Structure 1
């Protein structure tokens, strides 16, 4: 793993060029609200924006990108290829459509959304390699890959696997998968980092939040950041976006991190029937 920059409220620390705090857009499907959220976040200081083909909001995300008074070269934009578009030709054509909707020439990180359905390690990664060679994707990633699927991806990909985006939060720490990805120098990106709101109801997290006079969301995000994990919480509205952003100024003590690590409650929020676990 690459060395991390120190946190500051004006710039998110990075992991090998990827900001460790980003904005997720899952279920942000109101076009005008989504576009305004992107613009607000970018102008506040966010630089990492995460979307996906299946979210149905790449066009709105693109509108927000275009409206923000932030140079494109400062942004880190990620999207994901959906499970029915993972054949060779479909990866190429669907990614081109994603770029057109986003209004950009190159996506900074292009993920395989799930290793299921039309996913074929040889053909899928052959297409991703072409997209990188053609300058349409800067890096490739995987999402929802378990250790054995990570190994297959590494074996079949012709370019490095940069990141694995998975559900991680204090109620689903994913230690085994974290260790496996770390061994292979694969960054981790945490979706649902607030356990879809469940972190607000965990006494250990609330106690630490009260000690710092911050929200439980900030505690969960600081916990991830201090473990070197990128978080992409969804947020809509200035106050929510700002509260997540100010987590960059928060430093948890080793004892507080250990207290969170010791939480015995488990809660997986995303568990579709086709999941590989």
Structure 2
């Protein structure tokens, strides 16, 4: 299976569907043992057609991803491996070496500043970004970017950047569209920054019951496909890269089935407009104002 890709501003491209190793696989305690089940799920995901694998230094899953890459039977050049730095924000050159050692890789296909939350001061983001540029110059990462950054954080980075962040993964779904509030997605794209998503299945998982329950069920029934696949395709059709996950390999084919789906313009708009009637933030809702939809 050949996955569609999104072109980035630096000329690289990213597969339009990723398998994440946070959420279902996150290790609360860094001392947790090696997770053989994750390795097997990752190998199955790759064998089924996933090529984009997402991890982070904070997830505690880089070693498992590294073993899965070695054992999956797919050439390294065909895989797209994203990892992120959070705890190592003030020592990014050391952090990337640690991540690559655990991944058993020479480079990351995408390296991200995981969050602005650990920065002691807003201006520190600019200095961290300059360290990211050095990492790229050394060949340790191809595209570099950020995650969970709002406009003020990106503006701080852009003050000093000589390389524009390639992408900014955010919580994104019909109940948190962002583009309809201060046109955040449009603004990022004007700067050359693309968008990926996490918690992308929130309307079918964490936000039930909600106004999209019936419309999603009706569209899914029409195409003989799951509601989760509808949500994934709704994002892909907006050039947003969904990064989803599961501990149940039976869901992998369900997610990949979204790639062959063709939603109508009317169905896309119906999901968007109904989604706007219900605000729900799944990740860290206590960190922002309850009415903040940016």
TM-score (norm 1): 0.90
Shift of 1:272: 5.8
Aligned partner of 2:251 in structure 1 is: 240
Aligned partners of 2:228 and 2:255 also within 8 Å: yes
Moved more, 63-72 or 202-211: 202-211
Deviations along 1:171-204, whole A, 9 cap, x unmatched? 1111122111111121101011101714775222
User: Corresponding residue for 2:88?
Assistant: 85
2:195 is aligned to 188
Q: Which ranges in structure 2 are unaligned for 5 or more consecutive residues?
A: 8-12, 27-33
Contact 1:125 1:158 in 2 (8 A): no
The alpha carbon displacement at 1:64 in A equals: 0.9
Structure 2 residue aligned with 1:20: 16
1:1-277 equivalences in 2 (<5 Å): 10-16=1-7, 17-27=13-23, 28-29=25-26, 31-82=35-86, 84-87=87-90, 90-118=91-119, 120-175=124-179, 176-195=183-202, 197-198=205-206, 201=209, 202-263=213-274, 264-271=277-284, 273=286
Check whether the contact 1:200–1:216 (CA below 8 A) recurs between aligned residues.
no
Aligned-pair distance for 1:123? Answer: 2.0
SS at match of 2:196: strand
- The answer on whether the counterparts of 2:119 and 2:125 sit within 8 Å (CA) in structure 1 is no
- Contact 2:126–2:159 under 8 Å retained in 1: no
Per-residue displacement from partner, 1:118-155 (whole Å, max 9, x unpaired)? 36123201211111011101111111111122222222
List gaps (5 residues or longer) in structure 1: 1-9
TM superposition outliers: structure 1 runs of 4+ over 3 Å: 198-201, 272-277
Alignment deviations for residues 219-274 of structure 1 (CA, whole Å, 9 cap, x no partner): 00000011111001112232111110111011100110011011112211001655
RMSD: 1.8
The one-character-per-residue Cα deviations of 1:30-75 (angstroms, maximum 9, x if unpaired) are 7111111211111111111111111111111111111111110111
> Higher helix share goes to which structure?
1
3-state DSSP of counterpart to 2:281? coil
CA distance in 1, matches of 2:250, 2:221: 19
Q: Which residue of 2 aligns with 1:6?
A: none
In 1, distance between residues paired with 2:76 and 2:208?
A: 35
Distance 1:265 1:273, change over 3 A: closer
TM-score by length of 2: 0.85
Identify if the C-alpha distance between structure 1 residues 55 and 250 changes in structure 2 by more than 3 Å, giving closer, same or farther. Answer: same
Q: Distance in 2 between matches of 1:228 and 1:262?
A: 18
- Please report how far the alpha carbon of residue 116 of structure 1 lies from its aligned counterpart in structure 2 after TM superposition: 2.5
